[in-house]
Amino acid sequence: MNKVLDTVDQRTQLVGENRLELLLFRISSTQLFAINVFKVKEVVKLPAINMLPGSNPKIYGVANIRGTSIPVINLREAIGFSKMPITDDSNLIITEYNRSVQAFLVGKVEHIINMTWSDIMPPPKTSGAHNYLTAITKVEQEGITHLVSIIDVEKVLAEIIDYDVSLSEGVLDETLVPSMPGRKVLIVDDSSTARKQVRDTLTPLGIEIIEASDGLQALRLLQSWADEGKHVADELLMMITDAEMPEMDGYKLTAEVRTDPRMTSLFITLNTSLSGSFNKAMVEKVGCNEFISKFQPDLLVGVVQDRLRSLLAP
């Protein structure tokens, strides 16, 4: 199954071109689901699982993968479906999010598809605020169009792992606190959970949060301000954007901002759960000012404070 996954170096060539690869899999016989290949370390057939009495009920157990103990999350149950039976088609998709490694128990793993972010659509608004999808798309298989649901893995993990938004002692610069209220930060992320994590960290400091759920929505907002004669860099302390989003990814968004003279000086921070050294290279390529991996409140506040210091410096 690992042969399905290409090398990281080859996959990184898609980043910055508003393209992505999705790994398709099933957790039910009738629906296709997907996650970004970039977050997948490998796919393995279901090995022996050690149970963990007293653990979160969404944790199926622990798998030993080449000497490393990896928690296994029953993805079907984690997104609200009934318990998934174990069959010969059962697999583990081992992923890395927010600097942690975990495996998702799924059924049959299908194949990888190459898409553009413009092919990826937000979930219908009528699906409610509590769904576990960041986006949907369509694929053709044997002449039949199938709907593919892209899982909001950050939401799944947030319901299992308690993300602490408190700051470590000494991180907050008290001399800057009086200058924070009224400052505005634009958060661009397709995951409502990720936006909430950033919001819960910065709002207590008095910072006003403006939200967009994808890069195209954010770009249109910034363009509308510029059309009204506003200086975007004066309106916002910074923009904090995810990398992968429907319709327009964070790299493409940054590149669009940098080519528009009305907003080219906007301070942009890339905040992503994607792992790998390619991120720093991509930050330089498209013109982001900073890069931090999710979710690290201390680093997030540190970037905000550094930006504020630069504005207040004589």
Write the pLDDT tens digit of every residue in 82-108. Answer: 877 888 889 999 988 767 789 999 999
Show the tokens assigned to 53.
């009495």
pLDDT at 11 over 50: no
Show the tokens assigned to 237.
């302390």
Q: What is the pTM of this model?
A: 0.76
Peptide bond into 295 cis (omega under 30): yes
In 10 A of CB 193, how many CB atoms?
19
Closest CA to 248 of 239, 256, 238, 240: 256
pLDDT score, position 126: 65
CA end-to-end span of the chain: 58
Q: What's the burial of 233, exposed, middle or buried (CB within 10 Å: 0-12/13-18/19+)?
A: middle
- C-alpha Rg value of the chain to the nearest Å: 20
Query: Under DSSP, is residue 299 helix (H, G, I), strand (E, B) or coil?
Result: helix
Closest CA to 199 of 297, 302, 97: 297
pLDDT score, position 201: 93
pLDDT score, position 18: 66
Contacts of residue 209, Cβ cutoff 8 Å, sequence gap at least 6: 184, 185, 187, 198, 199, 202, 203
In 10 A of CB 306, how many CB atoms?
15
Percent of the chain past pLDDT 90, that is, above it, reads 42
Q: Which of 31-40, 206-215, 280-289 is least confident?
A: 280-289
Total residues belonging to the chain: 314
Write the pLDDT tens digit of every residue in 135-193. Answer: 899 988 778 888 999 998 888 888 887 777 788 988 999 999 999 999 999 999 988 88
Top-ranked range on mean pLDDT: pick from 4-18, 53-67, 252-266: 252-266
The strand pairing partners of 23, in sequence order, are 35, 112
pLDDT at 53 over 70: yes
